[in-house]
Amino acid sequence: MQNNLVSPIHVLVADDHKLFRDGLVATLKHIRCVGLIHQASNGKEVLELLKTRNCHIILMDINMPLMDGVEVTRRITDSHQPVKVIALSMHDDQKHVVDMYDAGASGYLLKDTDKEELEEAILTVMSGRTYYASAITGRLVDQAITKSKVIQSGGYNLTDREILVLQYIYQELTTKEIAERMDVAEKTVENFRASLMSKIGAKNIASLVKYAIKHGYTGELGN
């Protein structure tokens, strides 16, 4: 991914395990777009540090003492601070992913991530998009597929083609791109999207993306 974003990117590593923090900091020092690197060992330290430090990205552990990563992320979101949060956790289950997304996180990585994926996640989130580790999305897709072939969730009956459109929306495809993949007119895609928003009660695309993540609809069912 080409880096035409703000550089250097100042990163805050928030984790209560010093050995892990040290290892992550060492990795970050080898990523060219990263500038200053700050550290915090608990949630309260994160909030205090943000009062005096200019950070663009927080790599946020979920389970920390005094205040966990979900609560810290929610407070940052509620205060409208410009810093973006990427969850960094050992947990790859749907609940933790959804909790962090609901709190306002822009991404989710597992702690065994490598330098390449870490850099990709940072640049993706800095560009205003979301980033979820492939292992995360793969697991959520598996959960969705095993529920049933005719997908029903949250009390809403969604057709296979509506679900396919929802998944393409999650993947940030445009209306034109979705129409080309489904071999239908763009107006048809717009109708599917309107039907989805009506059934789910979504007010905008962000609400559809949130719904897709919450219910595991993050992979393709067809071509």
Taken in order of first residue, the domains within the chain and their CATH numbers are 9-132 (3.40.50.2300), 138-214 (1.10.10.10)
pLDDT tens string, the chain, 223 residues long: the values are: 444 466 799 999 999 999 999 999 999 999 999 999 999 999 999 999 999 999 999 999 999 988 999 999 999 999 988 999 999 988 877 778 888 888 999 999 999 999 999 999 999 999 988 888 877 766 664 554 444 333 444 556 777 788 889 889 988 899 999 988 888 888 888 888 888 888 888 888 888 888 888 877 776 444 3
Q: Name beta bridge partners: 60.
A: 14, 87
Asked, as a colleague might, if the bond just before 65 is cis with ω within 30 of 0, I would say no
Q: Which residues, at least 6 apart from 199, have a Cβ–Cβ distance to it below 8 Å? A: 156, 157, 158, 162
What strands, in cross-sheet order, belong to the sheet with 34-40? 34-40, 9-14, 57-60, 84-89, 107-110, 131-132
Strand-strand pairing, 84-89 and 156-157: unpaired
User: In angstroms, rounded to a whole number, what is the distance separating the alpha carbons of residues 56 and 59?
Assistant: 10
Centre a 10 Å sphere on the Cβ of residue 122 and count the other Cβ atoms it contains.
27
Residue with tokens 């003492």: 65
User: In angstroms, rounded to a whole number, what is the distance separating the alpha carbons of residues 94 and 73?
Assistant: 17
Q: What is the pLDDT of residue 49?
A: 96
What's the Cα-to-Cα distance from 20 to each of 2, 23, 217, rounded to whole Å?
28, 5, 32
- Among 210, 221, 206, 197, which residue's Cα sits nearest to residue 147? 221
User: In angstroms, rounded to a whole number, what is the distance separating the alpha carbons of residues 216 and 171?
Assistant: 13
